[in-house]
């Protein structure tokens, strides 16, 4: 009889510990990554434009950006995207051929950035606008 009580007690303990939070199921929707900050800040001014410039978008969780989706990221004007590097919570987009005193907008469309969890929706579109600093004045000739 004592054995029966012990088995019932163990079963009760196991039942209590297994009835806590529900385990996420494969089909349960998982929240998409959200942009939490950018560098430079959106609408920043006096951003350097010489050589390669890194634009960084930080998300609230680790992200991925499939190679096929990277081509969907755009920057306006005559600027070029040199490299797209998703690592951890950051998406770094390296651009060049920026001009001085020019406004640019980098666009990462809906769904291009994704999280690592199963059944996770893609991140919402992110637009990062900035204006480059003025070009230096040419030296004045000596009289």
pLDDT at 9: 56
% of the chain at pLDDT higher than 70: 78
Q: How would you class 94 by CB atoms within 10 Å of its CB: exposed for 0-12, middle for 13-18, buried for 19 or more?
A: middle
Q: How far is CA 123 from CA 19, 33, 59, in A?
A: 33, 5, 9
Give the pLDDT confidence score for residue 95 in this predicted structure. Answer: 98
Q: Say how far apart CA 64 and CA 141 lie, in whole Å.
A: 53
pLDDT digits (tens, 9 = 90+) for 58-102: 999 999 999 999 999 999 999 999 999 999 999 999 999 999 999
> What three-state secondary structure class fits 3?
helix
Of how many residues is the chain composed? 143
Strand-strand pairing, 63-64 and 44-47: unpaired
How many helices (H) and strands (E) would you count in the chain?
A: 2, 10
DSSP 86-137: EETTEEEEEEE---TT-EEEEEE-TTSSEESSTTBPPPPPEEEEEEEPPPPP
Angle ∠(123,93,74) on CA atoms, nearest 5 = 70
pLDDT tens, residue by residue, 12-46: 555 554 444 555 555 666 899 999 999 999 999 99
């Amino acid at each position: 009889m004592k054995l029966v009580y012990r088995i019932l007690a163990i079963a009760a303990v196991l039942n209590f510990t297994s009835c806590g939070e529900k385990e996420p199921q494969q089909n349960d929707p998982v929240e998409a990554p959200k942009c939490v900050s950018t560098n430079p800040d959106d609408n920043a001014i006096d951003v350097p434009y010489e050589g390669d410039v890194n634009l960084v978008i930080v998300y609230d969780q680790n992200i991925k950006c499939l190679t096929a989706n990277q081509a969907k990221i755009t920057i306006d004007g005559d600027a070029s995207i040199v490299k797209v590097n998703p690592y951890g919570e950051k998406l770094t987009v390296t651009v060049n051929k920026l001009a001085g005193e020019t406004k640019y907008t980098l666009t990462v469309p809906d769904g291009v950035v994704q999280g690592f969890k199963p059944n996770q929706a893609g991140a919402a579109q992110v637009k990062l606008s900035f204006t480059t600093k003025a070009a230096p004045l040419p030296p004045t000739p000596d009289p």
